[in-house]
Amino acid sequence: MRNLDKSSNITSRATKEELPLTVLQMDVDDDKSVNDTIQKIINDNGRIDVVVNNAGYALEGAFEESSIQDGRAQLETNFFGTVRVIKAVLPIMRKQHRGTIVNVSSMGGRVAIPYDSFYHASKFAIEGLSESLQYEIEPLGVKIVLIEPGAVKSDFWKNLKLTDNIEDSPYRPVIQRLSESFEKMSQNATPPEHVAQIILKAVKSDNPDFRKYCRR
């Protein structure tokens, strides 16, 4: 987790269900943080068999009013965060001749809607990276899986980031209607447990589908 102060929910549930869970601090935006955490896992356990790249958020707003800084931050977490983790674990999995990398993309990595341009750019990039990478690593015993959820009932919706000065934007009426649609969408979204089950099935399979769309 990037912020261990928010770990109480997952650690208390793990304790209640007697799950052997260890929570470590890691920020996917930071090279040192990623490399140090992966090295600690190797030091403690000797191997890594599964990685699920799920860190991400959405930047909402008109492209014209999104700064380059906003766009870089979006790509830094959603795309380069995944890249960092893959680069850290791939040498380990290659030497093991075994491992599964799950990249959580989105239906937004295949179909785009307005006012989420940098988010879609990050997810389209994940799709292209994964498609190319599978040909490189599968002969080495390392599998890669793309999970493409639609709307999921999670904190993703609470963590949407808006471009600056959206109140004064000429695009505001349309953005407002889109935000209202997002709110309705989140109320009828797929339960996260459903996505988790699809991921679990993929990592337990000897021959998982490369691409899996998640819906209710």
| 85 Cβ contact partners less than 8 Å away, ≥ 6 residues apart | 28, 34, 38, 51, 53
71 and 28 share a domain?
Answer: no
pLDDT per residue as tens digits for the range 159-214 = 777 777 677 788 887 777 777 777 777 777 888 898 999 999 999 999 999 988 77
Q: Give per-residue pLDDT as tens, 94-149.
A: 999 999 999 999 989 999 988 899 999 999 999 999 999 999 999 999 999 999 99
pLDDT over threshold 70, residue 79: yes
From residue 156, give the alpha-carbon distance in Å to each of 85, 86, 92, 159.
21, 23, 31, 5
The pLDDT value given to residue 169 = 82
Instruction: Give the per-residue pLDDT at 82.
Output: 98
Contact status, residue 56 vs residue 81, Cβ threshold 8 Å:
yes
Catalytic residues: 105, 119, 123
8-state DSSP, 190: B
User: Are residue 65 and residue 11 in the same domain, yes or no?
Assistant: no
Residues 136 and 146 in one domain: yes
Domain of 10 in residue numbering reads as 1-46
- Sign of the dihedral through C-alpha 4, 26, 120, 59: positive
pTM, to two decimals: 0.90
Quote the pLDDT of residue 215: 64
Asked if residue 166 and residue 136 are part of one domain, the reply reads yes
* Domain count along the chain: 2
Residue 7 has pLDDT above 80, yes or no: yes
Question: Are 40 and 88 in a shared domain?
Answer: no
Residues 24 and 109 in one domain: no
Whether residues 68 and 129 share a domain: the answer is yes
